[in-house]
Chains A and B, each alone.
Chain A
Amino acid sequence: MILQYATEDLAAWHRDLLRYGHRLTGEADVAEDLAQEAMLRLLRSPAASRPDNPRAWLYRVVTNLVRDRARSLDRVQRKYVPIDADEPATPSADFERRETVARVRAVLERLTPRDQEMLILRESGFQHSEIAHIVGVKPQSVSVLLSRALERFKAAYLSEARL
């Protein structure tokens, strides 16, 4: 099989997706699942139907997977079982990490999932047309939706800061 993509690009995209998944869910293991699933879908897609903008395409896949996961979260109980933990994580480092994630996620979760997606995608450097494609909205709506999302973020940020 001949790859159409440079390995450097694949590695960079995979790394970006890990970060995106982590930003959206706050869970490292979930982010790994999502990133790998998206990369597998890209690599397994027939050469003729591979996307013109693979990075945006991958983000769209992860976005949809996160939405699917959120929908089924009540039905599926994920378990994280550190089996054969020969090298357990340092308790204090792990605790600090979890605290940071919880604190940041507390602010983000005051936003709607779409608000989070749009703001994170904007910070990931996507253009408005790409954000529209990834999130599934009309391109001309992006700036309005971003504007409202930013307003809601500001309110959430200030509110969380007061707590």
Chain B
Amino acid sequence: MTHSFPHFLIEFADGELRPGQRERLQHHLGECSHCEAALSELKATRTSFASLLAELDQAEPEVWSASVQAIYAPQRVALPVERSSRSQRWRWAAGIVLVSGAAVASATMLRNYTFSAVETEAAPEPAVPAPPPATPSGGVFVDAPGGVARIELSAVAAGTRVSFRVTTDSMIGLHSYGASAPSFVAQSGRIVVRMSGRPAELRLLVPASITQLQVLVDGQRVALIEQGRLRVTASDRRISFEVAEP
């Protein structure tokens, strides 16, 4: 047998050779110091590469493991969103806007919420404007095991701040497209996105364990996700919530 091509040695090292080929090469390696040395060198190069990757892996954010575990926590929150058809979902969404837009209903609803420490920070009193004629709204789609709230913003001035406040000890992931904000995972507290002035899409990966999340635009609470349910607490044409397709 002549000297083996390097790619045969790789297939050998990776266990990709067929049994007959493997035995022949194994036999050849026992007799050929040249190929044996080539195989050793290949393995050494691989070890160097693996070591380099290990260095890179050590520079990963420590929070990743915990955040992924939180996202895929076994407990789940069922959404009270009608999901039998798109039209039903939109009717449900429109209902929320109308209900939340009504002054008496909104005031009553908001009084019923008790916010913890995060709420006392700014204590924004939501304005109660008249409901817009046909504001697109929606629900929050919570896909098992966690959930994704997809929020689109348009016609927002540069520097507008969109805040997400989490009042439970949960991790949420924020991924922004078009906004001037990092994509990251945060544990409770507050995430603020400063808008760049362009339409943007924000996606919140909401773990199933989350019980309350507020969405604020320039300090004004526009939505509340509580017990897996979205409530639009103030109409704002700049922000829309979409039901993500499963």
Contact = CB atoms under 8 A, between A and B. Distances in A.
Interface stretch (B55-63, B103-111, B131-139, B220-228): B55-63
Contacts, number: 136
A26 B56 contact: yes
Interface residues of B, number: 54
Contacts of B59: 22, 97-98, 100-101, 104
Contacts of A108: 52
A146 B7 contact: yes
B61 A28 contact: yes
A143 interface: yes
A67 interface: no
A23 B69 contact: no
B128 interface: no
Interface stretch (B43-51, B85-93, B233-241): B43-51
B37 to A, nearest CB: 14
A30 B191 CA distance: 18
What does DSSP make chain A's interface, helix, strand, loop or mixed?
helix
B182 A36 contact: no
A150 B42 contact: yes
A82 B7 contact: no
B104 to A, nearest CB: 35
Interface in A10-27: 10-11, 14-15, 18-19, 22-23, 26
B182 A80 contact: yes
Interface in B118-166: 143-145, 148
A153 B180 CA distance: 36
A23 B192 contact: no
A8 B10 CA distance: 32
A32 B183 contact: yes
B65 A15 contact: yes
Nearest to B190: A84
A3 B10 contact: no
Contacts of A137: none
A157 interface: yes
Contact of B55 (A28, A100, A143, A144): A100
A18 B11 contact: no
A36 B177 CA distance: 13
Contacts of B10: 143, 146-147, 150
A86 B74 contact: no
A83 B52 contact: no
Interface of B: 5-11, 14, 16, 42, 45-46, 48-50, 52-53, 55-61, 64-65, 68-69, 71-72, 74, 143-145, 148, 173, 175, 180-185, 189-194, 203, 205, 244-246
Interface of A: 1, 3, 7-8, 10-11, 14-15, 18-19, 22-23, 26, 28-29, 32-33, 36-37, 40, 43-44, 79-84, 86, 97-98, 100-101, 103-105, 107-108, 119-120, 122-123, 127-128, 143-144, 146-147, 150-151, 153-154, 157
6 contacts: A15-B68, A19-B60, A44-B244, A86-B190, A104-B55, A143-B10
